[in-house]
Structure 1
């Protein structure tokens, strides 16, 4: 194999591996308390995993000249590509209409209460869900905490209100429970009151 082709194959393999690592980091930071900007940038499965798959398919097609290996590689990569494409199409088919409301804390502009409402076209009206989040800070160090995930099933709770009930306190009320969160003075991390 010529040097230029070998270099291209190595670059494609490295690019595919880098895309998977970036997506993995984005997934990790999507947890409660994770870095918000990293999660928003790198938790992109269609983009990063699609790029990784395309890079690995290209590397496999360029890499080996032997006919049997090349035929097997093509069969596997085409199958993987079709499965990935079907997964992306299925994910977009069940995508939800999303609305967000954002309210900053009284006298603390670095804290924001965010309520995300998702409405699914394929589910009945009771199939909506809500996510209550707390965003702390700005820029690269900003963190996002998950306070409540209120379900999609028809018999699950429905959000009534999520609001600031004090300078460092958030209350989440559904039709079946009430939860109060106090915020740590230094970090802004929410701790559920008992």
Structure 2
């Protein structure tokens, strides 16, 4: 109230009193905001934050290892997801007579399980063999392509196995004499 009173009297007085009144008006808290000093005080970390930080430090080596493993596994997972999406799209709109053929092939697998009483080898060979035969009857082109590629793989494996067995069975002296050309 004192400042307002001075302001009223300053309007009737001389210039010095007017300038004093203006200064007093600027100092009023209603007209100016007090200057605030910024404080940069770091909050104290809580016990939970400290535990999480400790856990992160302990797990850091394993996370870097997992990132490398993830990079190796990621393409395989993506190919499995792509295969699933393709299979879903194929089964959603199948070609003509797909489901009856799949039923016959599945039935021959069950028949193979029924006929394969006894040993475990029969339980593996009979269903797989009967299903392969019935699938090759319905899809002869694909069966021929699979037989050719698997035949090549089996032949390559047999040649490598023969070479490894021959290397083990033959003594070192005979292998060196047999490999040198006669004079």
TM-score bracket for this pair, using the shorter chain length: under 0.3
Taking structure 2 as the reference length, what is the TM-score of the superposition? 0.23
- Judging by fraction of residues, say which structure has more helix: 2
The TM-score normalised by the length of structure 1 is 0.22
Structure showing the higher strand proportion among its residues = 1
Higher relative CO (CA 8 A, sep ≥ 6), structure 1 or 2? 1
